[in-house]
Structure 1
Amino acid sequence: MSDEKIFSLGNRWFTWSVGAVVGVALLGAMVAFVWLPRAHAQATLESLWDAICSAAGAPAPFQGAALPGPGQRNPSGVIVSAYMMGAAGSNSVGNGATLAMACTMCHGARGTSPAGTPHLAGQPASGTYKQLRDFASGHRPSAIMQPLVANLSDQDMRDLAVYYASLERERIAAVEPSDTDTPRLVRNGDPMRAIGACSSCHSPHAERPATPVLEGLSEVYLPEQLTAFRDGRRSNDINRQMRNAVRSLTDQEIAQLSRYYAGR
């Protein structure tokens, strides 16, 4: 039998085989990208598009921005964009340095914390600014931070953020870990659980506004925040990207991710 006859629509075995393969592929895609993300007990996906994006690990800009429903409020009062900070004024760093003197007890004299609080040195200004605004507005509750930022103006918060972004971040490890040392969730995520790769947002190449640098953060602070997102105690992530990303993580996985990023 010639190749022409084998690969012909007139060959019913060829037609059925191709049809079966296509059918299985479509069924698998529906299960992986639609049913599994929506079947999770803690799923908070608003649409079919959100489910597909979440399963594929797509960053939040490719997902629709869901408006809050009746009785709900926005997760943050800050509109995140690549241009949200604007151009820093000539006095921003100096004013920020003065304001930061009140922050040294917890965040260190140079933005590197000796305790379990986050390092601020080298963090993107947009990320620090957003968190300060969320603390002030109550979108990110904190009995410690809310009183401290209550009297800061919007410009004060911007100046603080610009100052800390200007500081050099201390590196914990002298050698970058190899791919074999990198947790699978960091590299690839887990599409079967609708978990995107951590590196799709938290990497030097992602350049996403208001997204923190995780490398070198405390092994105490990181699991606290991941667990808070997972359990719904923290909810100032726009489009729920963090809550959706960590909702299926186990305590062991959170500990592994925290050790990995804390050691970099």
Structure 2
Amino acid sequence: MSDERLFSLRNRWFTVTVGGMLALVAFSTAVGFIWLPSAQSDQPFQGVWNAICSAAGVPQQWLRASSATPVPLVQTSAVAMTPQLLAQPSSTSIGRGATLSMRCTMCHGVRGMSDANSPNLAGQYSSVIYKQLLDFQSGARRNAVMSPMVSNLSDQDMRDLSAYYAYLPRPVALRSDAAPVVPVPDIVSGGAPMRNIASCASCHGGIDHKAGSPWLEGMPAAYTRAQLQAFANDTRHNDINEQMRNVARNMTPEEIDAAAAYYAGAQP
């Protein structure tokens, strides 16, 4: 049998082999360069062209004249803890904040202490309150009540409100004298290093305080529990660098309940 006849399209085995190889290459290319990248939820992989470029390792901006900035699928907080933000507010700012706070009393109480399972704001760090207000306004954090409430606030309004609530005396944990002393849960005092969980007290007070982290003593248990659950299931995502989401995802429901009850001062 001559080489000419062996590699001829008239040779049925040659035709089947070449056709099968071409089909396999086409299938592998479609799976590796289109289907698998397209199955990713990240913005850079959206669309067939983006999927092909990403799978091939080719920067998309090389292949087109202009590259629009991709819109993130989830809006996150853009607030930075600067020295200016952490500076002590003026008495004028506190006074203006007291006037503005009149619209907040229904949920957060007349003196910043909530009776509605909303967060207590009295004595909270002004930088924490300001960040949350700004996140509600930008959409990084969403709430059916808070989002419309802050929509028309100016930046100075939010700073003044934060200054006023930070000025109010901080409450103590709501423990009655008759109730037994609640031991500090392990998740609060020591965390869970094997699950990459730092202790709550290392950021929220007790051991240390991290700028931008709220103090939690006396916070309603229902509120704290709801926020930890929201971080865990990614319905709240305004934490910087996913710090709280990474912690909450690895916490058990029992640890969430224990931490919330402890900070509220109730028996877990």
TM-score scaled to structure 2, two decimals? 0.68
1:81 aligns with 2:89: no
Q: Structure 2 residue aligned with 1:187, among 178, 186, 189?
A: 189
Write the letter of the residue equivalent to 1:189: G
The equivalent of 1:244 in structure 2 is 246
% identical aligned pairs: 48
Write the letter of the residue equivalent to 1:107: H
Write the letter of the residue equivalent to 1:208: K
1:109 aligns with 2:110: yes
Partner Cα separation in structure 1 for residue 204 and residue 108 of structure 2? 21
Q: CA deviation at 1:87?
A: 4.3
The equivalent of 1:228 in structure 2 is 230
Partner Cα separation in structure 1 for residue 229 and residue 106 of structure 2? 25
The equivalent of 2:165 in structure 1 is 164
Unmatched segments (≥5 aa) in structure 1: 1-68
Partner Cα separation in structure 2 for residue 236 and residue 167 of structure 1? 25
CA distance 1:87–1:165, shift in 2 (3 Å)? closer
RMSD, aligned CA: 2.2
1:200 aligns with 2:234: no
Partner Cα separation in structure 1 for residue 206 and residue 186 of structure 2? 18
CA distance 1:125–1:200, shift in 2 (3 Å)? same
Moved more, 205-214 or 254-263: 205-214
The equivalent of 1:4 in structure 2 is none
Q: CA deviation at 1:145?
A: 0.4
Partner Cα separation in structure 1 for residue 86 and residue 156 of structure 2? 10
SS at the partner of 2:85? Answer: coil
1:148 aligns with 2:156: no
Question: Which aligned runs of 4 or more in structure 1 are off by greater than 4 angstroms?
Answer: none
Partner Cα separation in structure 2 for residue 184 and residue 244 of structure 1? 18
Write the letter of the residue equivalent to 2:225: P
| Native 8 Å contact 1:82 1:209 kept in 2 | no
| Native 8 Å contact 1:125 1:164 kept in 2 | yes
Q: CA deviation at 1:82?
A: 4.4
Unmatched segments (≥5 aa) in structure 2: 1-68
Write the letter of the residue equivalent to 1:89: S
| Native 8 Å contact 2:136 2:142 kept in 1 | yes
| Native 8 Å contact 1:189 1:198 kept in 2 | yes
The equivalent of 2:35 in structure 1 is none
Q: CA deviation at 1:70?
A: 5.0
Partner Cα separation in structure 2 for residue 156 and residue 85 of structure 1? 16
Partner Cα separation in structure 2 for residue 186 and residue 82 of structure 1? 28
The equivalent of 2:140 in structure 1 is 139
CA distance 1:237–1:189, shift in 2 (3 Å)? same
How far does the alpha carbon of each residue in 1:48-80 deviate from its partner, in whole angstroms, 9 at most, with x for none? xxxxxxxxxxxxxxxxxxxxx954366212112
The equivalent of 2:125 in structure 1 is 124
Partner Cα separation in structure 2 for residue 90 and residue 200 of structure 1? 31
Q: Structure 2 residue aligned with 1:255, among 249, 254, 257?
A: 257
Count of aligned pairs between the two proteins = 195
| Native 8 Å contact 2:96 2:160 kept in 1 | yes
Q: CA deviation at 1:85?
A: 3.9
How far does the alpha carbon of each residue in 1:119-166 deviate from its partner, in whole angstroms, 9 at most, with x for none? 000000000000000000000011110110111100100000010001
Higher RCO (C-alpha under 8 Å, 6+ residues apart):
1
Partner Cα separation in structure 2 for residue 258 and residue 91 of structure 1? 35
| Native 8 Å contact 1:81 1:209 kept in 2 | no
| Native 8 Å contact 2:75 2:139 kept in 1 | no
